[in-house]
Structure 1
Amino acid sequence: MYTARGTIDKSHLLDEYLPIVRRIAVQMMARLPANVELDDLIQAGRIGLLDAWSRFEENAAASFETFASQRIRGAMLDELRAMDWAPRRVRQSAREVERAIQAAAQRAGRAPSEADIAAELKLTLAEYREQLLKIQGCQLVYAEDLKHDDSDGSVFDRRAGPDEDDGDDPVRILLTGEFRGRLAAAIGQLPEREAQVLSLHYDDEMNMREIASILEVSPSRASQLHNQAIARLRASLQEVM
């Protein structure tokens, strides 16, 4: 919609794209622990939408929807960091699992089973599966994995910036360089059910309850398989991260 002067009516865009805020928030919630509130993400996303509204240039190459989505997601990520949604102890626990996977793989000469990983951690299988549930929400790549000491702002801010040359953007480098090939290879080596969980969750955008129904397991078991798959991938990709 345009004004009488032929410029974009941004107030109309603001109303039109508010549903995108909720859609992005709901998508992110599927990958976050239960203590994160949807309303908090939506509120942060609205701020990101307002920021996009004020920054968008009408003659920009990117569409407003693409630009706004980046700013909305960036604002939500900032909110999550402020909330410390993945406390240090959770990340430490996740990395303990990753180290156990690496050690168990070296010891067994193959992809380790859950029992192998549990033994490496000196836990029972039940205790290990409980630990997997506790690391729900840990992602494949942490901001710390991409941070440079001399960088200005967060990697997410740099990725979402409208006018910056992103040739040196760490996220873009990861997605287009060696990391992408290694990630594809690591996914190909996942146990079948774990690979299926990732495909259903990230490709088909199903939540854990829906995935559990397909796999005929409990939602908590689906979460365990998801978290173990992410831990396996991180263990496989430590060299390039």
Structure 2
Amino acid sequence: MEARALPLVEEPARMAPADARELSRQFFERLAQMQEGTPEYQYARNTLIEMNMSLVQFAARRFRQFADEMEDVTQVGMIGLIKAIDRFELSRETEFTTFAVPYIVGEMKRFFRDTTWAVHVPRRLQERRSELIRAREELESRLDRSPTVKELAALMGIGEDEVVEAQIAANGYNSSSLDAALTSEAQDGEAALADFIGAEDPAMELVDDVSTLAPLLAELTDRERLLIRLRFGAELTQSQIGEELGISQMQVSRLLTRTVAKLRAGMLGAMTDNAAKAA
């Protein structure tokens, strides 16, 4: 017996949801009998996608607060719909709509989880943020004011410290560009956020070095300290130092090399100790 041809559906995307559900079953029955890759298979699959696009629009409503992201949300929802069509089997005895919506919503949630957080936040805290938003909205409508941490904790059934942790984590959802313009009545013109961020001061490293070097210098002999002062303080040459101390330039060179090596070893030792303490 020859298989019955599929009906030609005009504008399947405009089909009413009830009609789409009924016709989708026929298309799934025929799709299971077709060879993948044939023109008939592609027609059946593409028509199923278009007939059920209303499921994507339905699922997207729960994310309507992200109006600027709706185009991307719809696109990833279509990916979920296609996955559902490719994996659906009539033998499951489940309505396709019931089977497809979790796939569609799952792709939408994955989109927000992977692309909208400005910094990496653990999955647990991402989910907690969503719970916090719902709890805050419920309490604000009920109390007609902003809820306290204690009230949020009671409604969510968690500790107050967990509520605070979720609030802090929520700050990682959005970020501002360092080039963003900031305006203020107290300022003339515009300033960028980057203008208010401090830069690393190279002189601070010098302060650390001097504080580390001071006790090492105290351990030197009087002659070694004099050599260091004449060479690096007065900036005399080795020949001039030799004349000052009544020794040869070669002796000055050996003494300086030994003294500087002693100070360098002390500095490196101090840096290693500090790093170990920080760890």
Greater Rg by CA: 2
TM normalised by structure 1 equals: 0.38
Task: Normalising by structure 2, report the TM-score.
Answer: 0.33
